[in-house]
Structure 1
Amino acid sequence: MASSQFYGSVVSTKGKSLVLSIAPRMHHLSPPKVSLWQHRRFSNPNFVSFKRLLVPLCVKKNVAIPPEFGSNSAAKSRISSSNLNEAGTNKKYAKVHDFCLGIPYGGLLFIMGLIGYIVFRSPVSLVLGVIPGFGTVALGFFSMMVWRKSKSNFIFILGQAVIAGFLARQYSQAFILTQKILPWGFYAFLSSAMVCFYAYVVLSGGNAPPGNKSKVV
């Protein structure tokens, strides 16, 4: 019994010494520990970005997305917004609305024509004063109402320009025949100036929108 215990202890001691002596030699044969992100598939550059994205999202909820994921979309959004801003800011309008000068011009013609008809009983005052003055005031008023609704008032601007052109021609002919500065020369100059003004409004892109306060005069 004692001999068997002694023999067992000797065998166990030899076994332990044998394992301890073999273990350092077998250590280099064991496969090295490779982390998941050092694996060949994940060492691919295409998987690095997923690592950078998923790990922070798992660790921290509110984390910024890496730049490579938002660079393209952010650049596109910046380009589109800049294009919209440039389109909005580069569009030009007339600095003075057509009705700002059209209504006073038509009112002057109407009042002076009415006075001339009452005082001199001249039908010319009705044809070249009252009727075109009233038409210009009406077109200017409708142009203002349409402009406030953010609709196109080009037809009303064109109508005022046609009346002013007709009056400029008639007043110029009267001034050439009579050589009188008042009233024909003055009205001819004023109507010609209004024709130039309406042309300026049309060529400048029309009236500025109601919301564009910087362009409104």
Structure 2
Amino acid sequence: MKTKKSKKKIKIAKSLFLLTSAAIILVMVSLGLHRTYAALTDSDQKENDFRVGNVQTEIKEEFDPPSIFEPDKEYSKKVQITNTGEQDIFIRVLALPSITKQQSNGSTLLLPATTEGSNPVLTIDYNLTDWINGQDGYFYYKKKLAKNEQTAVLFTKVKMNQAAITEEYENVSLTIEIKAEGIGTTKYSYRDAWWNAETPTTGPLLDVDNALKGQTSGQ
């Protein structure tokens, strides 16, 4: 006959087994998610374009980066996206500026490169006639692109504002990483791909949705 003490041990052992099993399952799920995420980000890091099936885009830039980025001087940089695939697509673009400075010890210092607020470090003349700033890091093109069609320029020039910087910004370099994402125009594939299948109800993403939803195809 089992004593209360032995029953208690059995219950503890079962609980430990269940907890261990749950932990193993969580680790397996986490590893699976990590591998999936790594596969997606690895592809994005290797390519300047974004491809899904026969959706293809090409980034066109006109920019001659200066060796030293000087304040209060405008530098020309034109960015456009071309649809090089076979089907109509919607486009959004991530434009990520960064300002770096080489240190005497060989390391690289990353300095703030703000473009918004009351006293931004950078002024970039974003084209908000043909594009919408989604305030989520992306600029959305208002029109769908047909095969071989090209967007209007996202911006044409950039400037570092003397009034917003300190002496740390002497002898710095500027880079602007551009990432373009294209998605087919099937109803409502852009919501699924870009917003986790959610329909925005407020803010600039609602403006994006209103601009694109009337240009979708299919049911």
| Same fold flag (TM > 0.5) | no
Q: Which has the higher contact order (CA 8 A, sep 6+)?
A: 2
Classify the TM-score, shorter chain: under 0.3
Rg: which structure is higher? 1
Which protein is richer in strand relative to its size?
Answer: 2
